[in-house]
Structure 1
Amino acid sequence: MKKTLFIISFFLFVGLTSKAQETKPKSLPKQYQEAVTNILGQIPDAANQKATQVMDFAKSLLGVKYKYASASPERGFDCSGFVSYVFKNFGFTGARSSVDFAKKGKQVKLEEAKVGDVLVFTGTNSKLRSPGHVGIISSIDEDGKIKFIHSSSGKAKGVTITDLEGYYKNRFLKAVTLVE
């Protein structure tokens, strides 16, 4: 632990000293560079912490029944009611429908999307390329396979986690980042 604190202190000192002198920082010895890289890689950034909190909260609602035009865990959720309820608990307001979510936040490529981003889909008719369903990315495995949490009116009839493939992949419109 002392060695770790020393490495971090040394790294910060070198960085602060070099900025104060407006010179380039001296390179750290390789063993310290690797240690600092490993330590910094283990410290989640604020966006990752927020995404984890959002997911923990969303997953606490698994199994809540589907209810059209509802945004209440007591009565049930429709898809956008679920997503708006989750994000409202983290200070994001202003979106209640799938169309609203399609317009909010920052659009990202699906390959660059991350846990906590909102996925926007067509309605059940994928030929009509307008928003009709939303969910939140709940996990991305090392192969890039995405799972999302949403309130489904389908066979799950409630809040569930689904793979982004087949039926939903065909209906996918865009990914939107709300958590920054």
Structure 2
Amino acid sequence: MKKIVFILSFILFFALTGKAQDNKSLPKQYQEAVTDILSKIPDAATNKATQIMDFAKSLLGVRYKYASSSPEKGFDCSGFVSYVFKNFGFTGARSSRDFAKQGKQVALNEAKVGDVLVFTGTNVKQRTPGHVGIIYSIDEDGKIKFIHSSSGKAHGVTVTDLEGYYKTRLLKAVTVVE
């Protein structure tokens, strides 16, 4: 019983301090047990991203409506993104320009599922924020899909590949929920 309490105390302490993978200071008899237990605990950030995506996916197909952030009426792009993140405690932004200013900017190759992509409006030459979406998935080749409310052909919440037209409009990626 003392062994279990010690291991669980160690895991809790190091998980809270961000040093969960550094168990080298433990006696050898505990290192393997800690590594095994840690491998079974989901990473908090991954879990949060999964929750965000599950919630966002539940809104697929909701129609596009300019200046709206209501699933009953429809969403514009930033209305959709703000509605999703509001359900996870983030209330700092409503417009694409707000999202461009909020959070922590990350390089696209370091972005992760749940991060916000900020795009220009439909005029690519005007390099000011005009559209936002949330990274939906990143495959093993680094190809990104994002979920957003589009006024285009889909005319509602949809998942789109980050390539071509949208890739040329991309301004930045930001992390808004850690």
- Normalised by the shorter chain, which TM-score bucket? 0.7 to 0.9
What is the deviation of 1:43?
A: 2.3
SS at match of 2:84: helix
What is the deviation of 1:40?
A: 2.7
When the two chains are superposed, the root-mean-square deviation of aligned CA atoms in Å is: 2.7
Whole-angstrom CA distance in 2 between matches of 1:52 and 1:87: 13
Alignment-derived partner of residue 168 in structure 1: 166
Are residues 169 and 146 of structure 1, via their aligned partners in 2, closer, same or farther at CA, if it must alter by over 3 Å? same
SS at match of 1:169: helix
Whole-angstrom CA distance in 2 between matches of 1:90 and 1:45: 17
SS at match of 1:44: coil
Are residues 119 and 10 of structure 1, via their aligned partners in 2, closer, same or farther at CA, if it must alter by over 3 Å? closer
- Which residue of the other structure, out of 83, 86, 89, is the alignment partner of 1:88? 86
Are residues 67 and 9 of structure 1, via their aligned partners in 2, closer, same or farther at CA, if it must alter by over 3 Å? same
Deviation string 1:48-85 (CA, Å, 9 cap, x unpaired) is 11111111110000000000111000110000000001
Residues 147-162 of structure 1 correspond to what in structure 2 (within 5 A)?
147-162=145-160
* 2:75 is the counterpart of 1:77: yes
The answer (yes or no) to whether the contact 2:113–2:136 under 8 Å persists in 1 is: yes
What is the deviation of 1:92?
A: 0.7
Alignment-derived partner of residue 129 in structure 1: 127
Of all paired residues, the percent bearing the same amino acid is: 78
SS at match of 1:57: helix
The answer (yes or no) to whether the contact 2:120–2:171 under 8 Å persists in 1 is: yes
Alignment-derived partner of residue 66 in structure 1: 64
What is the deviation of 1:12?
A: 3.6
Flag structure 1 segments of 5+ consecutive residues without an equivalent: 17-23
Whole-angstrom CA distance in 1 between matches of 2:26 and 2:56: 45
The answer (yes or no) to whether the contact 2:108–2:172 under 8 Å persists in 1 is: yes
Residue-pair matches, total: 167
Alignment-derived partner of residue 20 in structure 1: none
> Max radius of gyration: which structure?
1
The answer (yes or no) to whether the contact 2:68–2:76 under 8 Å persists in 1 is: yes
Alignment-derived partner of residue 19 in structure 1: none
Residues 18-29 of structure 1 correspond to what in structure 2 (within 5 A)?
25=25, 28=28
TM, length-normalised to structure 2 = 0.83
Alignment-derived partner of residue 143 in structure 2: 145
Are residues 77 and 42 of structure 1, via their aligned partners in 2, closer, same or farther at CA, if it must alter by over 3 Å? same
Alignment-derived partner of residue 116 in structure 1: 114
Q: Which AA in structure 1 matches 2:68?
A: S
Whole-angstrom CA distance in 2 between matches of 1:124 and 1:38: 50
Alignment-derived partner of residue 21 in structure 1: none
Flag structure 2 segments of 5+ consecutive residues without an equivalent: 15-23
